[in-house]
Chains A and B, each alone.
Chain A
Amino acid sequence: MNKITESLLRVVSEFGGSFQGAYNVREDGECAGRQSSANIKIESKKEGPGLVIHVLPGTKGETVYIPACVTHGGIDDLVYNDFYIGEGADVLVVAGCGVHNEESTEARHNGIHRFFLEKGARVLYREKHIGTGKGMGARRIDPVTDITMAENSYLEMDTTQISGVDSSMRKTTATLAAGARLVVRERLMTTGTEWARSDFDVTLEGEDAGVDLISRSVARGNSRQEFNSCIRGKNRCTGHSECDAILAESGSVIASPSLEAAHIDAALIHEAAIGKIAGEQILKLRTLGLTQEEAEERIIQGFLS
């Protein structure tokens, strides 16, 4: 892998010079390194670009790294990765993406990840996105995550996009069987003229399925964000979504949450709040000796932590 990829990997996928366990590094649309482990098998898809990742039933405490990097303009990388998580497995999946562009043509990564969790499987899915480089060409990341959860499975999705991505369109869909639980934590900051959109569509099919979706975002400069969520309760279930956004300078945010309940015992809640940093918060931190600017940065840093 090249130096830019190494640099991006350190930010997006906890890369410390090497990966321990199973991994596949994608660089500019090509495989730049792969390793399977005894319990986690990574294979190329036969019918197109992408991977099939099998985590054997009962696998515990292992990590699989599936980062992707685009290191220059003129690349439009599309990849389909399917994760099959065996019954009772409990693993960490790290799937960050970095796009670097010093050129005038667009650089884009579009990762389509499908998760199939068997009964009782547990996954912590970390996904960090970053854009770097000073080229005029746009840096785009358009992730798609499609999750199918069997009975009593659990998936926690932790996504972060802090800076440098000119345009991103995230789509996440999930279908949960009985007793399954999905937790999504999204943190997003846009600056300059960046644009980001997040769509979440979760269907709670089974009895006692549950979803907790928390999105915190900051829109600075002239950036724009859109947040759309739909939670569908088709059985006795619990669903909670929370969209908090801070506006700074001329940033704008549109939040469009929706809930659909088709069962008398579907308990669905949505909370949304958009506004500037509360003046009282800044005052409090200034009484601790921080300047106005330091207080604002600390509040945003905490909000997105």
Chain B
Amino acid sequence: MEILKLEHLAWDLPDGAGIIKDIDLSLESGKLVVVTGPNGGGKTTLAKLIAGIETPSSGHLFFEGREITGLDITERAKLGIAYAFQQPVRFKGLTVRDMLELASGKKLDDAHLCDLLGKVGLCANEYVDRELNASLSGGEIKRIEIASVLARRAKLSIFDEPEAGIDLWSFARLVETFQEVRRQKAGTLLVISHQERILSIADYIVVIADGYVRGAGPREEILPTLLADERSPRCPLGKESARV
């Protein structure tokens, strides 16, 4: 079943420079899709367009067959799209517990909080009552951000470079969590990442460069080409639309 479809999607800077250029993409439900490509290629912008944080200059988005191009962030969140920011924001006065309860839409008991934070390598006892302020390190706030998206149990969860700022041990736990979500068919995961470890667990890989989809397909097809060409300054793939 198709969960997300992008048709001729484009997004321009105010000066007219194109960041996303005529992207066609279709994602299958229940899969782990990794979006990769060079820095500045448009990956984060694409994720923000899907979440409704940015509005496309042209093109259309469909979620479970329904057009969502005109829906705002809140409406898309309520439909089941979740987004983990690459650089999470801090809040004075909101605790980790507050954030996870807001994300899940209900009160959470200690066992549930422990389970959620455990998925990102944090101990609930140490963190639930801490404020999401400057007392938390970059890695801690990042992991809580990821936990907040997991708490939503969304139909489509988007993670923008979840590995950034996370230590090796927590990263390994996160990879296990992504695999667990897929195994339990608990939603579709769209992960923006450069990490080979994450690429290696993908069902599908989408390569974005210069605002275009340069390649997309099953991991077995795309990953060897990416790895073989990792020293090349040019993107290895030349396709401009894809169904994954």
* Chain A interface residues (CB < 8 Å from chain B): 216, 244, 278, 280-281, 283-292, 298-299, 301-305
Contacts and interface: CB of A to CB of B under 8 A. Distances in A.
Interface residues of B, number: 22
Interface string B58-99: 000000000000001110011000110100110111100010
Given A280-B85, A287-B77, A302-B98, 7 more contacts: A216-B93, A286-B72, A287-B83, A288-B102, A299-B91, A299-B93, A304-B93
A212 to B, nearest CB: 14
Q: Tell me the dominant secondary structure on chain A's binding face.
A: helix
Interface in B95-145: 98, 102-103, 105
Contacts of A298: 94, 102
A59 to B, nearest CB: 30
A286 B93 contact: no
Given A298-B102, A302-B98, A289 B92 contact: no
Contacts of B152: 288
A302 B73 contact: no
Contacts of A304: 93
A283 B52 CA distance: 10
B207 interface: no
Contacts of A216: 92-93
B74 A290 contact: yes
B102 to A, nearest CB: 5
Contacts of A286: 72-74, 77
A61 B97 CA distance: 29
A304 B93 CA distance: 7
Contacts of B105: 289
B209 interface: no
A299 B73 contact: no
Given A285-B102, A298-B102, A291 B74 contact: yes
Nearest to B51: A287
A287 B73 contact: yes
Contacts of B94: 298-299, 302
B74 A302 contact: no
B29 interface: no
Contacts of B93: 216, 299, 301-305
A283 B98 contact: no
A44 to B, nearest CB: 41
B172 interface: no
A288 B92 contact: no
Contacts of A288: 77, 82, 102-103, 148, 152
Contacts of A284: 85, 88-89
Among A216, A288, A303: residue with most chain B CB under 10 A? A288
18 contacts: A216-B92, A244-B92, A278-B89, A283-B53, A283-B73, A284-B89, A287-B51, A287-B82, A288-B77, A289-B78, A290-B74, A292-B74, A298-B102, A302-B92, A302-B94, A302-B98, A303-B93, A305-B93
A278 B88 CA distance: 12
B52 to A, nearest CB: 8
A280 B85 CA distance: 10
Nearest to A291: B74
Top 7 closest pairs, chain A to chain B, by CB: A302-B93, A302-B94, A280-B89, A303-B93, A289-B77, A286-B73, A287-B83
A232 B130 CA distance: 31
Nearest to A290: B74
A278 B94 CA distance: 14
A278 B87 CA distance: 14
Contacts of A292: 74
Contacts of B53: 283, 287
Contact of A290 (B83, B89, B102): B102
Interface in B143-186: 148, 152
Contacts of A280: 85, 89
A213 to B, nearest CB: 16
Nearest to A301: B93
A254 to B, nearest CB: 20
Nearest to B93: A302
A294 to B, nearest CB: 8
Given A283-B53, A284-B85, A302-B98, A289 B74 contact: yes
Among A216, A283, A304: residue with most chain B CB under 10 A? A283
B198 to A, nearest CB: 21
A286 B102 CA distance: 10
A305 B88 CA distance: 22
Contacts of A301: 93
Nearest to B83: A287
Contacts of B85: 280, 284
Contacts of A289: 74, 77-78, 105
Nearest to A279: B89
A299 B73 CA distance: 17
